[in-house]
Amino acid sequence: MRTLSNLARFALDRQAIISAVRLQLLGPPRAWRDEQPLAFKTRKTLALLAYLAAERGLHPRDQLTALLWPDRGEAEARNSLRSALVYLRQALGDADAALAVTRETVGLSLSPSCILDIQVLAQAQRLARRPEVVPGLQAALERAVAAYRGRSWRA
């Protein structure tokens, strides 16, 4: 019985940590934890986080190395991935519990309350495509526009 309560407490603690992460993938990618910008040792580390967040689930290490280090040999690419995972853990701090890493796969487990700008845009798109009038559509579209912080569309 005590083990179950410890597992439940761990799950709640993990949820609170992970939900504090906010990712911006529209425009230049950026990430925050507890509203503090995260610093990444390499751009590939941020690219890895962006890919894992956007493409949910577990991904084979071979797929990630081919995507991020296509010009390197297999052994060198796997070493680069290992280094990027170390850097990602350092950047996330105690939120690194979100990483699901095995010998063959890597994934990211984000809570539903984690803010990911591409999800905000996708939700607004789904609402806008409905044939009936949807309450809250304008607010959803405004949130989607606000989520984009990249270059202006003006020439």
Q: Could you tell me the pTM of the whole model?
A: 0.70
Cα dihedral sign for 100, 43, 89, 69? positive
Buried b / exposed e along 65-91 (16+ C-beta atoms within 10 A) = beebbeeeeeeebbebbeebbebbbeb
Q: Where in the chain are the domains?
A: 2-115, 116-147
Structure confidence at residue 112 (pLDDT): 61
Ordered per-residue pLDDT tens for the chain, 155 residues? 434 443 344 344 444 444 467 788 887 888 888 788 989 999 999 999 999 988 888 999 999 999 999 999 999 999 999 999 999 988 887 666 778 899 999 998 776 656 677 777 777 777 777 777 777 777 777 776 666 654 444 43
d(C-alpha 40, C-alpha 46), whole Å: 6
Structure confidence at residue 94 (pLDDT): 67
Fold that domain 2-115 belongs to in CATH: Arc Repressor Mutant, subunit A (1.10.10)
